[in-house]
Amino acid sequence: MPQDEFDWIQKHIPASQFHAELVQGIGDDAAVYAPPSSYDQLYCVDTLVEHVHFKRETMSPSQIGYKALVVNISDIAAMGGIPLFYLVSIAIPSHWNDKELDLIYQGMKEAGEEWHLDMIGGDTVSSPNDLVISVTVGGKVEKERALLRTYARPGDYVFLTGPTGLSAAGLHVLLSRGRHTVDDKERIIVDAHQKPKPHVNAGRIALQLHDRIALNDVSDGLASELWEIAEASNVSIHIHKDKVPVAKELNMFPEEKRWEWIFFGGEDFVLVGTIPPYAWERYRTLMKEAGLPLYHIGLVEEGEVTVKVSEKEETTILPKDGYNHFK
């Protein structure tokens, strides 16, 4: 672990910045940010804990850093927003060396450069046991335009911006054999777990429609995210199994396992949402023009708050399962 906290901080101060709204970044007791009056501010935070969210056997240090930032960028995407800044709090145990920690920050820097985020501060402390990384991201969204879970209404279409289940399949492979023995045919699913891509552009396109769109990112599993929208909007959501996309990379696994991962796997970071029917064709056109996938998987209905899934003539309740830290 680093021998001197202040040298460590100095070493990772960014040489430049992406956003003019940042008045003062790292170098004082707090960063100074001047938000534009035509935007609302967005903030989110996620914490990754060694042996809970990652293991050395499944992710390299740079992948850990990359993912620590990306999971927060995905939350901004789910609001239709633009990610701007991030702060990093890291608790370091003695069994992590300086080279590994540098790689963690390089991973965050890679994600920050990819999505144009400025690192504006953080905190570095020691940890008695495991590595803990907590990242806070700030963003902006047009005034009173954030895409909220409460916006679903009966008659709306339910959509996905990409297939789910890939990350869980990748984790299955990594836990089985470790990150150093991945086959070429498994590379896509492993990358989906180690270096997920937030769907910021899909969220921004949805916001352009000036319509009532509910949105969630698929972090804890498709079923869990659908239930969150249903509960927030007090509606019933009905999806059709044959409309839910199945990535071809999942075909190497048994069907039962595929659907378990698709509905309950989590960490895919695609977007799931609802949209009024009159706005659907416009959204589909804009997504197609941007070269982005979009899938219509069901409908919002009146009735008791629930999430249902139909397959042929049978309709069942989709369990409210997914990743839960306290289970």
Beta-carbon contacts of residue 54 (< 8 Å; ≥ 6 apart)? 48, 64, 67
Confidence of residue 124 (pLDDT cuts 50, 70, 90): confident
Residue 4 has pLDDT above 80, yes or no: no
Copy the structure tokens of residue 79. Answer: 């609001």
- Give the Cα separation of 205 and 2 in Å (integer): 43
What kind and span of H or E run contains 309?
strand 306-311
Establish whether 4 is an annotated binding residue.
Answer: no
What's residue 324's pLDDT? 46
- Picking from 255, 32, 288, the residue whose alpha carbon sits closest to that of residue 165 is 255
Residue-wise pLDDT for 188-228, tens only, equals 999 999 999 999 999 999 999 977 999 999 999 999 999 99
Residue 75 has pLDDT above 60, yes or no: yes
Q: Of 91-105, 224-238, 283-297, where does mean pLDDT reach its minimum? A: 91-105
Residue 52 has pLDDT above 60, yes or no: yes
Residue 16 has pLDDT above 60, yes or no: no
Half-sphere exposure (Cβ direction) of 157: Cα atoms closer than 13 Å: 18
Output 163 or 326, whichever has higher pLDDT.
163
For the chain, the average pLDDT equals 90
Establish whether 53 is an annotated binding residue.
Answer: yes
Establish whether 323 is an annotated binding residue.
Answer: yes
What's residue 222's pLDDT? 97
Residue 13 has pLDDT above 80, yes or no: no
Q: Of 20-24, 84-88, 153-157, where does mean pLDDT reach its minimum? A: 20-24
Residue 174 has pLDDT above 90, yes or no: yes
Establish whether 211 is an annotated binding residue.
Answer: no
Establish whether 122 is an annotated binding residue.
Answer: yes
Position of tokens 């836990």?
175
Confidence of residue 279 (pLDDT cuts 50, 70, 90): very high
CATH of the domain at 33: 3.30.1330.10
189 and 225 assigned to the same domain = yes
10 and 93 assigned to the same domain = yes
63 and 20 assigned to the same domain = yes
Establish whether 217 is an annotated binding residue.
Answer: yes
In a domain, 11, yes or no: yes
Q: How many domains does the chain have?
A: 2
Establish whether 46 is an annotated binding residue.
Answer: yes
- Over residues 258-264, mean pLDDT: 97
Establish whether 39 is an annotated binding residue.
Answer: no
Dihedral angle over CA of 265, 271, 274, 276, nearest 10: -150
Domain residues for the domain of 303 are 149-317
What's residue 211's pLDDT? 77
Q: How far, in Å, are 19, 71, 171, 182, 267 from residue 179 at the CA level?
A: 36, 20, 10, 6, 18
- Give the Cα separation of 69 and 105 in Å (integer): 10
* Last residue in a domain, options 89, 112, 142: 142
Establish whether 184 is an annotated binding residue.
Answer: no
288 and 159 assigned to the same domain = yes
Q: How far, in Å, are 20, 166, 294 from residue 245 at the CA level?
A: 40, 11, 10
To the nearest whole percent, how much of the chain has pLDDT over 70? Answer: 89
State if pTM tops 0.85. yes
Residue 103 has pLDDT above 50, yes or no: yes
What's residue 323's pLDDT? 53
In a domain, 323, yes or no: no
157 and 245 assigned to the same domain = yes
201 and 166 assigned to the same domain = yes
Helix (H, G, I), strand (E, B) or coil at 55: coil
Confidence of residue 326 (pLDDT cuts 50, 70, 90): very low
Helix axes 166-177, 255-264, angle to 10 degrees: 110
Establish whether 267 is an annotated binding residue.
Answer: yes
What's residue 236's pLDDT? 98
What's residue 325's pLDDT? 42
What's residue 180's pLDDT? 82
